[in-house]
Amino acid sequence: MIGALFCCAALSVAVTVGIVLSLIPPTLEFFTEVDIFAFLTGTDWAPLFVPAKFGVLPIVMGTIVVTICAISVAVPFGLGTAIYLSEYARPRVRKLLKPLIELLAGIPTVIYGYFALKFISPFVQNLWPFGDSPGVFNALSAGLVMGIMILPMVASLSEDALSAVPHGLREGAYALGSSKFEVSTRVSVPAALSGIVAAFVLSVSRAVGETMIVLIAAGGTPNMSLNPGEAMQTMTAFIAAAGTGDLPQGSTGYKTIFAVGSLLFVATFMMNVFSNRIVRKYREVYE
């Protein structure tokens, strides 16, 4: 019986091994057909066309642009929400408001995608301040909505970190005549910084790995541009788009899915490990 229970726990390790095993062989085969250096530094991405081009940078760039948009919404406003909930809100108010924020985290990403394309995108098109108005599909709409999607995670992780800071520290600062603003920004936030940084790294990882919002709202054109008003393709959106087309197994195009998947997996996995390490290593241990 205990053996069976151990197998259940060990299955999770098998899943990780399975993911790695599913990625590595096709990726290695891919790199026998396409030069790895050309893949990582090329600026033309058209793996499913003839002639095929395998420079991954445009979809990496798309991922970065969307992620920056998402992070610039999720991190400041998520942190603000966390500080408000943990430092300012009365317990009754917090108990009422927290589930509302958590509701945002439970909404399926396909609905966020719909919202980004049909509701946010027209706003972005109309309010665009520089030059030509963006098209219906643009990285900014997808990024902004993704920011709202990730905000609850940043808020909840940061709030956990803030509420782990012992009250004695705050009371000491109040006793010295600090205002609430000073206590929040000079005592609570610095004391919880490791948790907040971990939340930041995790939110980047979430944004990089999110698929449906970008697939629906960011457009499907690989684009080397830094302009968030343009249509872009991210790594995840490419994988999903290639997955919907019935690519013949064994073709170079099919293996591209795995090569990009490996890149995505390595990037997000490193960020997740890094974030977990920050939490464990730099956590101030309070009695």
Q: Which of 61, 192, 215, 218 binds other proteins (CB under 8 A)?
A: 215
The CB-of-51 to other proteins minimum distance in angstroms stands at 26
Closest C-alpha among 232, 234, 245, 228 to residue 206: 234
- β partners of residue 45: 54
Give the C-alpha separation, 104 to 150, whole Å.
Answer: 9
Q: Which of 243, 251, 282, 286 binds other proteins (CB under 8 A)?
A: 243
Buried b (16+ CB within 10 A) or exposed e, 4-34: eeeeeeeeeeeeeeeeeeebeebbebbbeeb
- Three-state DSSP at 46 gives strand
**Chain position carrying tokens 């027209």:** 122
- From 31-39, 55-63, 192-200, 261-269, give the range in contact with other proteins by CB under 8 A: 261-269
Q: Is 274 in the site for other proteins (CB under 8 A)?
A: no
- Three-state DSSP at 45 gives strand
The CB-of-148 to other proteins minimum distance in angstroms stands at 4
Cβ-based nearer residue to other proteins, 97 or 169: 97
Residue 226 host element (H or E)? none
Neighbours of 184 (CB within 10 A): 19
Give the C-alpha separation, 202 to 275, whole Å.
Answer: 6
Q: Is 268 in the site for other proteins (CB under 8 A)?
A: yes
Cβ-based nearer residue to other proteins, 25 or 168: 25
**Residues touching other proteins: how many (CB under 8 A)?**
89
Site for other proteins in 219-238 (CB under 8 A): 236
Q: Is 66 in the site for other proteins (CB under 8 A)?
A: no
Cβ-based nearer residue to other proteins, 139 or 155: 155
Cβ-based nearer residue to other proteins, 1 or 50: 1
Site for other proteins in 74-133 (CB under 8 A): 76-81, 83-85, 88, 97, 100-101, 103-104, 106-115, 117-119
The CB-of-44 to other proteins minimum distance in angstroms stands at 23
Q: Which of 202, 231, 232, 278 binds other proteins (CB under 8 A)?
A: 202
DSSP 68-129: HHHHHHHHHHHHHHHHIIIIIS-HHHHHHHHHHHHHHHTS-HHHHHHHIIIIIHHHHHHH--
Cβ-based nearer residue to other proteins, 51 or 108: 108
- From 13-21, 42-50, 56-64, 131-139, give the range in contact with other proteins by CB under 8 A: 13-21
CA atoms within 13 A on the CB side of 196: 21
